[in-house]
Amino acid sequence: MTDHALLLVNLGSPASTSVADVRRYLNQFLMDPCVIDLPWPVRRLLVSLILIKRPEQSAHAYASIWWPEGSPLVVLTRRLQEAMRPHWPHGPVEIAMRYGEPALPSVLQRLAAQGVRKVTLAPLYPQFADSTVTTVVELARATIAEHKLALEMKVLRPFYDQPEYVDALVASARPYLEQDFDHLLLSFHGLPERHLKKLDPTGTHNFQDADCCRDASADMLAVCYRGQCLRTAQAFAKQMGLPDGKWSVSFQSRLGKAKWIEPYTEARLDELARAGAKKLLVMCPAFVADCIETLEEIGDRGREQFIEAGGEELTLVPCLNDHPQWVEALTTLCERA
């Protein structure tokens, strides 16, 4: 059987570190209504204002972490693709990006032209959010419908609590946690609170609650990004045998003035340093591949902030990337999907 493709989809990256390429990428990303969920005229105005200064700032940040082979996110996703190929005997293993290249619509059209009839679409996001999972699935379905592609599509659902994923997290992080450290911060990508509130089937959920979704219904947890992040963190800490107080959760990468889910990573870095933590480990379990949010935001700026606040050492634990146990885990999850 060679007609059943596996398509790994990640967020994407600018084509280069030039300001023009970064502006083009940010425009595509921020104009997605799943990312900035405002009416088109308001979104267009807001994004236009952001694009006055942000591309130059972001280009500098990308340049600081860019590899000779290109964007770390794209390079690492390609390495994962290569590692997955021997494990997927049903057909080709391809990658696509939601923003930038290789573009998801183009890859789907190419697969259909090659005679592929089934696709397992794997959005590489452990936790659910409209701005990650939904936008990928909707674009894939829209592409298939618009171009009348003869493709049957199955979708890998968020795997935030799947044992294979948690086991892979533990295996990849264990060498770092076996060293001496004072605290582990699990820093997840943030989201505006309104993204969670609009999906709340009860209309009453308190997303500031420290026990978010602890006793939630399956319907609530299925759409509560914060609750899924906490479940991932709790499962990881339990499996690693980390005592309470040795680890905590925070949310990074805020953009704009809207209310985002808390606690904020920037605030936690200062709090931990002031509380006497000298050796800090930071993991970013919302990402499966290292990228600007991990390498630059945490590994560079976060480290600098922590040390300025009184800490001594911040170690960024690498993402899953192409770790052998993650390759096995992802194979199992995709086969199940």
Give tens-digit pLDDT for 243-282: 999 999 999 999 877 899 999 999 999 999 999 999 999 9
What is the predicted pLDDT for the residue at 145?
Answer: 97
- Examine residue 102 and say whether the peptide bond preceding it is cis (omega within 30 degrees of 0): yes
Which listed CATH number (3.30.30.10, 3.40.50.300, 3.30.70.260, 3.40.50.1400) goes with 168-316? 3.40.50.1400
Statement: residue 1 has pLDDT above 60: no
Q: Is 57 exposed, middle or buried (0-12, 13-18, 19+ CB in 10 A)?
A: exposed
If one compares 252 and 201, the residue with the highest pLDDT of the two is 252
Using CA atoms, how far residue 144 sits from 102, 108, 141, 334, in Å, is 17, 8, 5, 20
pLDDT of 2 higher than 90: no
Cα(135)–Cα(10) distance, integer angstroms:
11
Residues of the chain within CATH 3.40.50.1400 domain(s) are 4-158, 168-316
**Across the strands, what pairs with 188?**
251
Closest CA to 240 of 184, 315, 185, 174: 174
Q: Which of 31, 73, 26 is nearest to 53 (CA)?
A: 26
pLDDT at residue 211, as a whole number: 66
Mean pLDDT (whole number) for 196-221 = 74
Over residues 1-26, mean pLDDT: 95
Whether 205 has a pLDDT exceeding 90, the answer reads no
- How remote is the C-alpha of 247 from its chain's centroid? 20
pTM of the predicted protein model: 0.95
Concatenate the DSSP letters of all residues of 134-162 into one string. Answer: IHHHHHHHHHHHHTT---EEEEPPP-TT-
Tell me if 233 sits within 8 A of 173, measured CB to CB: no
Kindly give the interhelix angle for 72-84 and 324-336, rounded to the nearest 10 degrees. 70
Report the distance separating Cα 276 and Cα 232, nearest Å. Answer: 26
Residues tagged in the binding site annotation = 189, 293
Residues, the chain: 337
The CA distances from residue 141 to 20, 36, 121, 159, in Å, are: 30, 21, 10, 21
Q: Tokens 């379905």 identify what position?
A: 141
Residue 158 pLDDT > 60, yes or no? yes
DSSP code of residue 264: B
Residues marked as binding for Fe(2+)? 189, 293
SS3 state at 258: coil
Residue range 316-336, pLDDT digits in tens? 999 999 999 999 999 999 999
153-172: burial string, b at 16+ Cβ within 10 Å, e else = beebbbbbebebbbbbbbbb
For the structural domain made of 4-158, what CATH number should be given?
A: 3.40.50.1400
Contact (Cβ atoms closer than 8 angstroms) between residue 126 and residue 158? yes
